[in-house]
């Protein structure tokens, strides 16, 4: 049976990228060696690294004064790398869910943290708006897409202080005005590649301003000075990331991707709003294009487990909601084709016929 992969992360990758990765595992560039057994200090791998960076720069329109890093450790490691490098006195954080909270917890180890806005009062079902950003902050941190709750910033906000964003789950899903940010980071495993590589985009002039000593591996400047090869980089994940970016370029880049993501989200949200069995959980104006969260409507709540089983029987994978929200979450990342969303919609309609008279 065809599987429809709605996993929240690690998640679906383009078939081409997986096939090229499989080939490189067996024989990389006709070298007679596997990509898994070569030095990162070879010309062949340096080309992979450079191409991955060049594609990322091109696809996201990253200006020259920003450096790109591919590191290990996941987005969670950036939760402390960011304040280590940038927090001298006080940072501001917008609390839009679990990932924001984890970032806040780490930042508090390095200085004062002011939570300048939060949507915790409504279980993070919306993106806070209309708050004032104090100008005495070292930086302001936001989470652009809230993977667990299905909320997303629709525009790049204006900030009078250095803006830092965790874009783990919506990077490359829409055009971003990189110039509005000082630093953008995220794990690759939602929208950009496999698990094991973390991207950082940083404007160099924001670095080197804190008075504390930085461990070498934490100091972004060491990674920048070594073209992101200060230590052994995640060689294979970077290769797969490069293949994923090649695919994204081949379909028309980020504007085309955004169009497709909108079409997928419109299709699924449209069905959620029409079908009496289901309701969406996120505020409509803040609905994520990436993670679409919904639950059974009040009178049908005891059908949730049955719907999950039914959908599973039709090839749907990964649609159980996160335990903090319940219900269902369909992650519709870049590589998910609209046919999979249509298959889920068909499933919802069939289930409706079975249960709504």
Q: Which residues are catalytic?
A: 99, 166, 190
Interface region with ligand PLP, contact rule CB under 6 A, candidates 69-77, 134-142, 205-213, 240-248: 69-77
- The phi and psi torsions of 216 (rounded to 5 degrees) equal -55, -45
Given 85, 118, 151, 169, the residue binding ligand PLP (CB under 6 A): 169
Do the Cβ atoms of 262 and 294 come closer than 8 Å?
A: no
Task: Give whichever of 159 and 189 is closer to ligand PLP, judged by the CB atom.
Answer: 189
Instruction: Using CB under 6 A, pick the residue from 6, 99, 139, 199 that binds ligand PLP.
Output: 99
CB count within 10 Å of CB 123 equals: 12
Q: Which stretch binds ligand PLP (CB under 6 A): 34-42, 48-56, 72-80, 150-158?
A: 72-80
CB closer to ligand PLP out of 97 and 271: 97
Residue whose C-alpha is closest to residue 110's, from 211, 36, 28: 211
Check residue 150 for interaction with ligand PLP (CB under 6 A).
no
How many residues bind ligand PLP (CB under 6 A)? The answer is 12
> What is the rounded CA–CA span in Å between residue 327 and residue 150?
12
Q: Shortest CA distance to 124 belongs to which of 155, 98, 156, 86?
A: 98
Nearer to ligand PLP, 166 or 219 (CB): 166
In the complex, minimum distance from the CB of residue 288 to ligand PLP, in angstroms, rounded to a whole number = 11
Question: H/E element holding 143?
Answer: strand 140-143
Q: How far apart are the first and last CA of the chain?
A: 30
DSSP 157: P
What's the burial of 270, exposed, middle or buried (CB within 10 Å: 0-12/13-18/19+)? exposed
Contact between 9 and ligand PLP by CB under 6 A: the answer reads yes
Smallest separation, CB 43 to ligand PLP (Å): 30
| Binding status of residue 187 toward ligand PLP by CB under 6 A | yes
* Smallest gap from residue 192 Cβ to ligand PLP (A): 11
Judged by CB under 6 A, the residue of 156, 166, 243, 271 near ligand PLP is 166
Is 165 one of the binding residues for ligand PLP (CB under 6 A)? no
> Does 318 engage in binding with ligand PLP (CB under 6 A)?
no
46/244 Cα distance (integer angstroms):
17
Query: Minimum distance from CB of 61 to ligand PLP (Å)?
Result: 22
SS3 70: strand
Binding of residue 173 to ligand PLP (CB under 6 A): no
- Determine the Cα–Cα distance for residues 83 and 219; give it in Å rounded to an integer: 11
Q: How far apart are CA 80 and CA 224, in angstroms?
A: 18
Where do contacts with ligand PLP occur on this chain (CB under 6 A)?
9, 74-76, 99, 143, 147, 166, 168-169, 187, 190
């Amino acid at each position: 049976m065809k599987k429809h992969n709605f996993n929240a992360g690690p998640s679906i990758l383009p078939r081409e990228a997986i096939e090229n990765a499989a080939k490189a595992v067996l024989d990389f560039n006709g070298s007679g060696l596997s990509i898994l057994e070569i030095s990162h200090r070879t010309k062949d791998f340096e080309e992979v690294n450079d191409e991955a960076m060049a594609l990322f720069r091109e696809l996201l329109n990253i200006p020259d004064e920003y450096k790109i890093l591919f590191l290990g450790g996941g987005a969670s490691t950036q939760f402390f790398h960011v304040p280590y490098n940038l927090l001298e006195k006080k940072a501001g954080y917008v609390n839009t869910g679990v990932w924001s909270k984890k970032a806040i917890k780490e930042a508090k180890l390095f200085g004062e943290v002011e939570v300048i806005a939060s949507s915790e009062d409504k279980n993070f079902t919306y993106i806070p708006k209309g708050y004032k950003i104090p100008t005495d902050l070292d930086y302001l941190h936001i989470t652009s897409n809230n993977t667990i709750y299905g909320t997303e910033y629709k525009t790049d906000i204006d900030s009078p202080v250095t803006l830092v964003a965790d874009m783990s789950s919506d990077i490359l899903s829409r055009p971003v005005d990189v110039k509005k940010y000082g630093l953008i980071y995220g794990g690759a495993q939602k929208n950009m590649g496999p698990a094991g590589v973390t991207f950082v985009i940083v404007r160099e002039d924001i670095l080197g301003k804190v008075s504390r000593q930085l461990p070498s591996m934490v100091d972004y400047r060491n990674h920048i000075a070594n073209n992101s090869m200060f230590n052994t980089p995640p060689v294979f994940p970077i290769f797969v990331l490069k293949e994923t970016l090649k695919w994204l370029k081949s379909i028309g880049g980020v504007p085309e991707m955004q169009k497709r993501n909108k079409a997928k989200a419109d299709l699924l949200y449209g069905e959620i709003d029409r079908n009496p069995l289901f309701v969406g959980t996120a505020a409509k104006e803040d609905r994520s294009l990436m993670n679409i969260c919904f639950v059974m409507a009040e009178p049908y709540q005891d059908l949730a487990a049955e719907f999950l089983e039914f959908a599973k029987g039709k090839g749907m994978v990964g649609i159980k909601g996160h335990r903090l929200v319940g219900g269902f979450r369909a992650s519709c990342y870049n590589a998910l084709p609209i046919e999979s969303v249509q298959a889920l919609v068909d499933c919802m309609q069939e289930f409706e016929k079975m249960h709504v008279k």
